[in-house]
């Protein structure tokens, strides 16, 4: 008889007995717990440089800890022969968020020290570039580098340029209908909540601002976000939960990523802003997931995401400039 592969020890099973990488598990959890404690301390403590240093240290600990736990989980999953022999998309998402915040503190502080005040559109572009580098770097480190998926599995490699071009254009065609639905949803959500969220890339009303924001929001960000949320997360859940559940789960992560750090003058206002910001992203999130499952390629969703952002950015800049 063929031996049944052992069930992997989960990350919430707090024991090292029987684990294949106990050091990764223990150090990973220590990093996460210390990181969370420091982030909470920074949130409740004084503002200014001291608070920023504590917060940066907290996100660094959370980043390192979650990456190590991802490694531990991958080793356990592979040994058990599971359909997805890699880290949970939720865990990778935590690593991406924590690393992005740490990188933001590090790069932001360095730039302010070296050059002082930075024009908003240039700062937005730098922030998007840093975030995209983190997205791709974490996926490379915890997923591709660990052998859980290849870039072809994620959907970013293995297609000829002509096919890529057609898939990008095919995805872009859906931007118009999705923007129409999003506009209706946004109108209803704003009326219900009584608040209007600011754009992640606030319009400047200038040609240079339009170019920089299109580069950031319609070229760089769509590629990085689609790699994480559709290429990796949705693909991983397709192997374990089926298409519908995979689309819903990856869409929740996508929405959460866009409202996680929404702030307001009061707690109630922050909740209402997060509600509106989350609801208006549901149509595009589900459409991106459906398109990825339907085509089996990441280029269609990238085309849709890029066209969607490009239209909204252009409308915002045109309205302010006019």
**What are the structural domain ranges in the chain?**
1-148, 154-322
SS3 233: helix
Short-list 226, 68, 205, CA closest to 132: 226
With vertex at residue 121, the alpha carbon angle to CA 120 and CA 122, rounded to the nearest 5 degrees, is 90
CB 300 within 8 A of CB 170: yes
Q: What is the pTM of this model?
A: 0.93
Quickly list DSSP for 280-317. TTHHHHHHHHHHHHHHS-SHHHHHHHHHHHHHHHHHHH
What are the tens digits of pLDDT across the range 202-219? 888 889 999 999 999 999
Neighbours of 147 (CB within 10 A): 11
Residue that the structure tokens 């992005």 belong to: 100
User: Are the C-beta atoms of residues 102 and 59 closer than 8 Å to each other?
Assistant: yes
Half-sphere exposure of 8 (CA within 13 A, CB side): 23
Residue found under tokens 């929404």: 262
- By mean pLDDT, which of 40-49, 145-154, 162-171 is the weakest? 40-49
Q: Could you report the per-residue pLDDT of 233-249, keeping only the tens digit for each? A: 999 999 999 999 999 99
More confident residue, 198 or 320: 198
């Amino acid at each position: 008889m063929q031996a049944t592969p052992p069930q992997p020890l989960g990350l919430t099973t707090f024991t090292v007995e029987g684990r294949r990488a106990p050091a990764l598990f223990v150090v990973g959890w220590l990093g996460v717990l210390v990181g969370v404690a420091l982030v909470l301390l920074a949130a409740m403590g004084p503002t200014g440089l001291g608070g920023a240093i504590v917060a940066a240290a907290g996100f660094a600990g959370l980043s390192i800890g979650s990456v190590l736990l991802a490694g531990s989980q991958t080793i356990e999953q592979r040994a058990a022969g599971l359909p997805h022999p890699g880290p949970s998309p939720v865990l990778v998402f935590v690593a991406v968020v924590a690393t992005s915040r740490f990188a933001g503190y590090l790069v932001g502080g360095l730039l302010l020290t070296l050059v002082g005040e930075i024009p908003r559109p240039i700062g937005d572009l730098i922030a998007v570039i840093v975030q995209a580098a983190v997205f791709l770097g974490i996926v490379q480190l915890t997923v591709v580098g660990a052998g859980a998926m290849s870039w072809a599995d994620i959907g970013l490699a293995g297609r000829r340029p002509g096919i890529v071009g057609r898939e990008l254009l095919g995805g872009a065609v859906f931007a118009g209908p999705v923007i129409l639905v999003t506009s209706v949803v946004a109108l209803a959500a704003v009326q219900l909540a009584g608040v209007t969220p600011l754009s992640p890339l606030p319009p400047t009303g200038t040609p240079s601002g339009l170019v920089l924001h299109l580069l950031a929001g319609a070229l760089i960000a769509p590629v990085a976000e689609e790699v994480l949320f559709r290429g990796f997360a949705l693909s991983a859940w397709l192997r374990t939960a089926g298409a519908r559940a995979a689309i819903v789960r990856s869409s929740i992560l996508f929405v959460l990523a866009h409202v996680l750090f929404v702030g307001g003058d009061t707690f109630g206002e922050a909740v209402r802003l997060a509600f509106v910001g989350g609801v208006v992203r549901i149509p595009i999130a589900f459409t991106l997931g459906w398109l990825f499952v339907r085509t089996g390629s990441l280029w269609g969703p990238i085309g849709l995401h890029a066209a969607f952002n490009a239209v909204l950015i252009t409308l915002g800049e045109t309205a302010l400039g006019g």
